[in-house]
Amino acid sequence: MTKEAFVKGTVTTKKGKEIVVAGTHVFNVVACVAAITLVIVMLQWWRTGEQPQLEIVLCLLPAVMGGSYNVVKWLQTRR
């Protein structure tokens, strides 16, 4: 991964403060949604006993793993 973000955008709050939104922020949001969806799919599997479709799990796992990697890197830089 490069040090510079691929996508950058700024959001101005009501108080006039500018917040920079980078591509990693968007990726982390997608990873969180994927993790929540994966938990819901696993809960449905546990309740009904019906196995989830493999395509759903294969689509969600890379996003969860990539998001976990980004969270670990973010926590390491916050020290």
pTM exceeds 0.85 for this model: no
Which residues, 6 or more positions from 36, have their beta carbon under 8 angstroms from its beta carbon? Answer: none
Which residues, 6 or more positions from 38, have their beta carbon under 8 angstroms from its beta carbon? Answer: 57, 60, 61, 64
pLDDT at 40 over 80: yes
As a whole number, mean pLDDT of residues 13-21 equals: 83
As a whole number, mean pLDDT of residues 7-30 equals: 77
Which residues, 6 or more positions from 6, have their beta carbon under 8 angstroms from its beta carbon? Answer: 22, 23
- Most confident listed range (22-26, 45-49, 57-61): 45-49
For residues 71 and 59, give the distance between their C-alpha atoms in angstroms, rounded to a whole number. 19
pLDDT at 32 over 50: yes
| Residue 18 or 26, more confident | 18
